[in-house]
Amino acid sequence: MSVLYDRVALIGLGLIASSMSHAMRRTGLTHEITGYAKSAETRQIARDLGLCDRVCDSAADAVAGADLVVLCVPVGAMAAVAAEIGPALKPGATVSDVGSVKRAVIDAVAPHLPDNVHFIPAHPIAGTEHSGPASGFAELFDDRFCIIVPVEGSDQAAVDQLTTLWRGMGSEVDVMEADHHDLVLSVTSHTPHLIAYTMVGVADDLSRVTDSEVIKFSAAGFRDFTRIAASDPVMWRDVFLNNKQATLQILGRFTEELFALQRAIRRDDGAHLEEYFTRTRAIRRSIIEAGQDTDAPDFGRSKVPGR
């Protein structure tokens, strides 16, 4: 595949940014990758790994002359980073992000960007429980969706170019409006993460079940909860605080459903439980048919070498 951007700057060097670097290099999508992370330790690790062609000591230095800038920092840090890089951006550059909340990111970033750059938010729906610059791998985005969220007045040529980049990194691409994105992701990602954190917290608080028993007898369901609950706590703190309305809406609906199931169990209403589980089982089949997972054992989690 041909080069799409001469220079790409990655601000924040965790799982997503490091995977982007590997994926872009895999297919030659850029000539040069610059990077920046707030932590000096992270910057040194990135240098030792050769993650970027240049790891800079400020975000402004990293974005200077870049044709594409991707903000890979927690949602709560977006505004400060945008304010720092705004004056240093190259005219005509594209600024994007990888945050899993979109309306809050748009509100935080857009005011700090000059009029002569293209702002095109995005969200790759891919990840693992690992974080940091050593956690990335080129295959992370393969056959996973990336949602592009153009803002009002987005240049279509710039949107098309970013779309081509994500496809070149292995992703399927869809386009969505910001508020709808936040509601959809609250259902498919944010609230499930909160439920996973809660269930692991319950196990941790339940004194009659020892830690050794939780570890020794973890069945697939609880084991998967712990995988989710091991995700970056700062990132997920910011997700919930910045997607508050949609998350609370879905949590309210979840609570209603949970009470109904609780009532069915209390009343020995097996018919209700079987009907409910039959209906929800169909969702799992649809996910497999859509190619977003497999029916293999162990929740279909792919085994990436070295992970």
pLDDT digits 0-9 by tens, 160-204 = 999 999 999 999 999 999 999 999 999 888 888 888 888 888 877
What span, in angstroms and rounded, lies between the C-alpha atoms of 292 and 307?
A: 20
The domains of the chain are located at 5-176, 180-267
The residues, any chain, with a CB within 8 Å of residue 250's CB and separated by 6 or more, are: 183, 186, 187, 190, 191
SS3 content of the chain, % helix, strand, coil (to 5): 55, 10, 30
Q: Tell me, what's the pLDDT at 298?
A: 53
> Would you identify the CATH topology of the domain 180-267?
6-phosphogluconate dehydrogenase C-terminal fold (1.10.3660)
What's the token pair of residue 68? 């594409």
Strands (E), 77-200: 94-97, 118-119, 122-124, 145-148, 172-175
The reported pTM is: 0.80
Identify whether the C-beta of residue 7 lies closer than 8 Å to the C-beta of residue 96: no
Based on the number of CB atoms within 10 Å of its own CB, is 222 exposed (0-12), middle (13-18) or buried (19 or more)?
A: middle
Q: What Rg value do the Cα atoms of the chain yield, rounded?
A: 21
Rounded CA separation 172/153 (Å) = 24
For position 203, what pLDDT does the model report?
79
Q: What is the pLDDT of residue 143?
A: 92
Q: Where are the alpha helices (DSSP H) in 243-302?
A: 244-266, 270-289
CATH classification code of 5-176: 3.40.50.720
Per-residue pLDDT, 306: 40
Element (H, E) at 184: helix 178-185
Tell me which amino acid residue 191 is. Answer: T
Angstrom distances, CA of residue 203 to CA of 157, 206, 208, 222, 247: 51, 5, 9, 9, 23
Residue with tokens 């872009």: 24
* Amino acid 208: pLDDT: 67
Q: b/e map of 99-117 (b: 16 or more CB within 10 Å)?
A: bbbbbbbbebbeebbeeeb
**DSSP code for 188:** I
| Cα 238 from Cα 75, distance rounded (Å) | 6
Question: Which two tokens mark 90?
Answer: 């190259």
Q: What is the residue-wise DSSP string for 20-75? A: HHHHHHHTT-EEEEEEE-SSHHHHHHHHHHT-SSEE-SSHHHHHTT-SEEEE-S-G
Ranges of residues in the chain whose predicted pLDDT is under 70: 207-211, 218-220, 292-307
CA 276 to mean position of chain CA atoms: 30
Query: Going edge to edge, which strands form the sheet with 5-11?
Result: 54-55, 30-36, 5-11, 68-71, 94-97, 118-119
Quick: pLDDT tens for 11-28. Answer: 999 999 999 999 999 999
